[in-house]
Amino acid sequence: MLLNDFMEQRLESTGISLDEFRGFLIRLVNYGVLERGESQTEQELYDRYVRVEELVGETLSLYGIVVHHDRRFEYARLYPPGSRTPGMEQAEDEAFGGSLRARLMQNEVAVILVLRAQYDKAVREAKIDENGFATESLEAIALAMKNWLNRSLPEKATERRKIFQRLRQLRLIDFHSDEELESAEAWLRIHPMIVDFVSTDAIEAASGAAAEGAAAGVLADGALGGREAEGAEGDGDAAERAEGDDDAERADEADGDPRDEIDLADTAAPRSGSRDVS
């Protein structure tokens, strides 16, 4: 029996065609994350995923890719081969360093660490909404970065906006509009998947480093995107990001804080552009 015939038999009871299943897999691998509450499109895709969850997991497991499905908060995130996924104490011995892994810049890593710490604080204070989100002001996040990691958000509004746009692409935060980020009074919603994205070990390591006066941290295994961060963007976007990265590098060198790229063990790298995509 041909593989296509076998797949069609498995899909017959779901009402999803092989072409639809193939398109869904391509989209899922390309974006690396699926959140039902993100948009009408993702709601439909998530509901489709639930119907074929077992087959999706079996298909991707052929390539060593693991799907983490959080049914409570209705999202699914992909983890490449060798990643440490939620519920697993250790990553597989096999390491994977291919293009499915994206890298985040130092400032992005610092913000993500602070977001996880602020989310934990909101949990302790019972300030989580019914969907699991925590709401924090941009001012509070900037203050926490300064007090905890001795780092500041970029002074330029465009650079700040790039960081938070990137984290929204990763589905770690949400906010109403880009223009709001130009004000310290802006508010962000931190997604509950931040807990899976950043390990407790990373938070403890960052806390220890902060106590010693260092602003360093290592994030846990995240999820995979279909391409490297630069490859996921259009040519113009990639050039703009590269220019911004060069500026950040020069700024960090001037401050005496080298900008080493931190390998986020496999962060999602959704394509830039409209958030509601099919």
Task: Say what the pLDDT of residue 2 is.
Answer: 85
Distance CA 199, CA 206 (A): 11
SS3 160: helix
Report the percentage of the chain scoring pLDDT > 90: 38
Residues in the chain: 278
Residue 128 corresponds to which tokens in the numbers above?
């989580």
- Chain-centroid distance, C-alpha 153: 19
Residue 62 corresponds to which tokens in the numbers above?
């052929």
Q: What are phi and psi of 164, to 5 degrees?
A: -75, -30
Beta bridge partners, 77, equal 33, 68
- Chain-centroid distance, C-alpha 68: 13
- Cβ atoms within 10 Å, residue 82: 17
Give pTM, 2 decimals. Answer: 0.62
- Cβ atoms within 10 Å, residue 215: 17
Q: Which is higher by pLDDT, 128 or 186?
A: 128
Across 132-254, where does the E strand assignment appear?
A: 134-137, 173-174, 187-190
Domain coordinates in residue numbering, the chain: 3-79, 106-254
Q: Are 186 and 197 in contact (CB under 8 A)?
A: no
Q: Which is higher by pLDDT, 127 or 273?
A: 127
Distance CA 254, CA 274 (A): 35
- Cβ atoms within 10 Å, residue 155: 8
Rounded average pLDDT over 9-26:
93
Q: Are 42 and 36 in contact (CB under 8 A)?
A: yes
Task: Say what the pLDDT of residue 91 is.
Answer: 44
Residue 209 corresponds to which tokens in the numbers above?
């480093």
Kindly report, residue by residue over 133-154, the tens digit of the pLDDT. 999 999 999 999 998 888 899 8
Quick one: which of 262, 225, 257, 259 has its CA closest to 244?
Answer: 259
SS3 192: coil
Which amino acid would we find at residue 34?
L
* DSSP H or E run through 67: strand 66-70
